[in-house]
Structure 1
Amino acid sequence: MSKTIVIGLDIGTTSVKAVAFTRNGVAIAEQEVEYPLHTPHPSWAEQDPLVIEKATIEVIRSLIDSHSIDTAQLFAIGLSSAMHSLICMDSNGEPLSPSITWADGRAAEQASRLRENGLHIYQATGTPIHPMSPLVKLIWMKENNYEPYKNADKFVSIKEFLLYRWFGSTVVDYAIASATGLFDLHKHQWNKDSLKLAGISEEKLFRPVPPTEVLTGIDRDIAMKAGLPFDIPFVIGASDGPLANLGIGAINPGEVAITIGTSGAIRQIVSSPKTDELQQTFCYSFTETHSLIGGPTNNGGIVFRWLRDTFGGNENYASLTALAEKVVPGSEGLIFLPYLNGERAPMWNSRVRGNLHGLSLRHGKEHIIRAGLEGVIYSVYHVGQALERLAGPPQKILASGGFARSSLWLQMLADVFNQEVEVPISHQSSAWGAAWLALKGIGEVSDLTSIKESIPMQGSFTPNADNHKVYAEMFAVYKELSDGLDEFYS
Structure 2
Amino acid sequence: MKASAQEGRRVLALDLGSSSVRALVCDAAARPIPGLLARQPIQLRQTDDGAGELDADAYVAALVACLDDLQAAGALDGVELVATSSQWHSVLAVGSDGSAVSPVLTWIDTRARPTHAPADPAAFHERTGAWVHPLYWTAKVPWLRARLGSSAVRFVGLPDYVRGVLLGDDATSLSMASGAGMLDLRGRCWDTEALELAGLSPDAAELPALDDTPRALAPRWHRRWPALRQALWYPAVGDGAASNLGSGCSRPDAVAVTVGTSAALRVVHSSDHPPPSPTVWRYRVDADRLVSGIAFSGGGVLHAWAVQLLRLDPDAEPGIPPGTSGLLAVPLHAGSRPPGTAPPGSGLVAGLSLDTSADEFLAATMEGVALEAERALATLEKLFGTSLDVVLGGGAVDASPWWQRAFAATFDRPVRIADDREVGARGAAALALGLDLPRPVDEVRPDPEDAARMAQVRTKYAALRALTRD
Same fold (TM over 0.5): yes
Change (3 A) 1:85 1:397: same
In 2, Cα distance between equivalents of 1:417 and 1:363? 26
Matched residue, 1:443:
none
2 CA distance for matches of 1:391 and 1:229?
42
Please identify, of 93-102 and 17-26, the stretch whose mean Cα deviation from structure 2 is larger. 17-26
Partner of 2:141: 138
Structure 1 residues 380 and 203, CA gap change in structure 2 (3 angstroms): same
AA matched with 1:132: L
How many correspondences in the alignment?
460
Report the CA distance between 1:139 and its aligned residue. Answer: 3.5
Paired residue secondary structure (1:31): strand
Conserved 8 A contact 1:123-1:275: no
Amino acid at match of 1:156: V
Which SS does the other structure have where 2:176 is aligned?
Answer: helix
Aligned to 2:442: 459
Partner of 1:371: 364
Q: 2:63 aligns with which of 56, 59, 64?
A: 56
Q: Secondary structure at the match of 1:412?
A: helix
Letter in 2 for 1:311: L
Mapping for residues 311-322 of structure 1, pairs under 5 Å? 311-312=310-311, 315-317=313-315, 320-321=316-317
The aligned runs of 1:18-33 (5 Å cut-off) are: 18-28=23-33, 29=35, 30-33=37-40
Cα 1:273–1:263 shift into 2, 3 Å: farther
**1: CA distance, partners of 2:195 / 2:407:** 40
Amino acid corresponding to residue 251 of structure 1 in structure 2: S
Conserved 8 A contact 1:58-1:226: no
CA distance in 1, matches of 2:131, 2:194: 13
In the alignment, which residue of structure 2 is the partner of 1:444?
none
Aligned to 2:17: 12
Specify the SS of the correspondent of 2:468: helix
- 1:301 CA drift (Å): 1.1
Per the alignment, do residues 278 and 287 of structure 1 end up closer, same or farther by CA in structure 2, a change over 3 Å counting? closer
Alignment gaps of 5+ in structure 1: 441-447
Residues 25 and 76 of structure 2 are in contact (CA less than 8 Å); yes or no, is this contact kept in structure 1? no
Q: CA offset at residue 348 of structure 1?
A: 4.5
Q: Deviation of residue 234 (structure 1)?
A: 1.5
Alignment of 1:44-193 (within 5 A): 44-65=51-72, 68-108=73-113, 110=114, 114=117, 118-141=121-144, 145-147=146-148, 150-193=150-193
Question: Which residue, 401, 415, 430 being the options, matches 1:407?
Answer: 401
Q: Work out whether 1:431 is the aligned partner of 2:425.
A: yes
- TM-score, normalised to structure 1, is 0.87
Structure 2 CA distance for aligned equivalents of residues 341 and 280 of structure 1: 18
Gaps of at least 5 residues in structure 2 are none
Whole-angstrom CA distance in 2 between matches of 1:352 and 1:374: 18
The one of 453, 458, 465 aligned to 1:475: 458
Could you give the per-residue CA deviations for residues 239-289 of structure 1, whole angstroms, max 9, x where no partner exists?
011111111111122111111111111000111276768620101122222
- Cα pair 2:262 2:299 within 8 Å, conserved: yes
2:10 partner amino acid? I
> Percent of pairs identical after alignment?
24
> Taking structure 1 as reference, are residues 470 and 139 closer, same or farther at Cα in structure 2, changes over 3 Å only?
farther
Q: Corresponding residue for 1:281? A: 280
- 1:337, 1:375 within 8 Å by CA — same for their partners in 2? yes
Q: Going by fraction, where is helix more abundant, 1 or 2?
A: 1
Change (3 A) 1:219 1:49: farther
Q: In structure 2, what is the Cα distance between the partners aligned to 1:239 and 1:175?
A: 6
Separation in 1, partners of 2:276, 2:84? 33
Pick the aligned partner of 1:390 from 383, 400, 403.
383
Contact 1:352 1:486 in 2 (8 A): no
Partner amino acid, structure 2, of 1:261 = G
Comparing 402-411 with 350-359, greater Cα deviation is found at 350-359
**Cα–Cα, structure 1 residues 478 and 139, in superposed 2: closer, same or farther, change >3 Å?**
farther
Whether the aligned pair in 2 keeps the contact of 1:327 and 1:370 (CA below 8 Å) is yes
Answer whether contact 1:126 1:185 (CA < 8 A) is retained.
Answer: yes
Distance 1:431 1:191 in 2: 29
Alpha-carbon offset, residue 331 of structure 1: 3.8
What is the CA–CA distance in structure 1 between the aligned matches of 2:63 and 2:401, rounded to whole Å? 31
C-alpha deviations, 1:387-440, integer Å up to 9, x for none?
222113433111221022322111211111112111232121110111122224
Paired position in structure 2 for 1:445: none
Q: Which moved more, 1:458-467 or 1:171-180?
A: 458-467
Q: Counterparts of 2:273 and 2:254 in 1: how far apart (Å)?
A: 16
The reply to whether residue 35 of structure 1 matches residue 28 of structure 2 is no
Which residue of structure 2 aligns with residue 381 of structure 1?
374
Instruction: Label 1:228 to 1:98 Cα distance change in 2 as closer, same or farther (>3 A).
Output: farther
Q: Show CA shifts across 1:356-392 (max 9, x none).
A: 1111223211111111111111222222222222113
Q: Which SS does the other structure have where 1:204 is aligned? A: coil
Judge conservation of contact 1:215–1:234 (CA < 8 Å) in 2: yes
1:232 aligned residue: 231
CA distance 1:276–1:425, shift in 2 (3 Å): closer
RMSD across aligned C-alpha pairs, in angstroms? 2.4
Partner of 2:207: 205
Shift of 1:160: 0.2
Q: Is the 8 A contact 1:237 1:437 kept in 2?
A: no
Aligned equivalents of 2:132, 2:272: Cα separation in 1: 17
Post-superposition offset of 1:72? 2.2
What TM-score results when the alignment is normalised by the length of structure 2?
Answer: 0.91
Q: Which amino acid aligns with 1:478?
A: Y
Return 81-90 or 374-383, whichever deviates more: 374-383
What is residue 418 of structure 1 aligned with on the other side? 412
**What letter matches 1:398 in structure 2?**
V
Is the 1:254–1:392 contact (alpha carbons within 8 Å) kept by the matching residues of 2?
no
**Partner of 1:10: helix, strand, or coil?**
strand
Structure 1: how far apart are the matches of 2:400 and 2:287? 36
Contact 2:8 2:27 in 1 (8 A): no
Q: Secondary structure at the match of 1:469?
A: helix
Q: What letter corresponds to residue 419 of structure 1 in structure 2?
A: R
Residue identity matched to 1:475: R
Q: Deviations over 1:277-319 (max 9, x none)?
A: 8620101122222110011111111111212322235x231xx
Q: Deviations over 1:212-243 (max 9, x none)?
A: x311033534x555675333321113101111
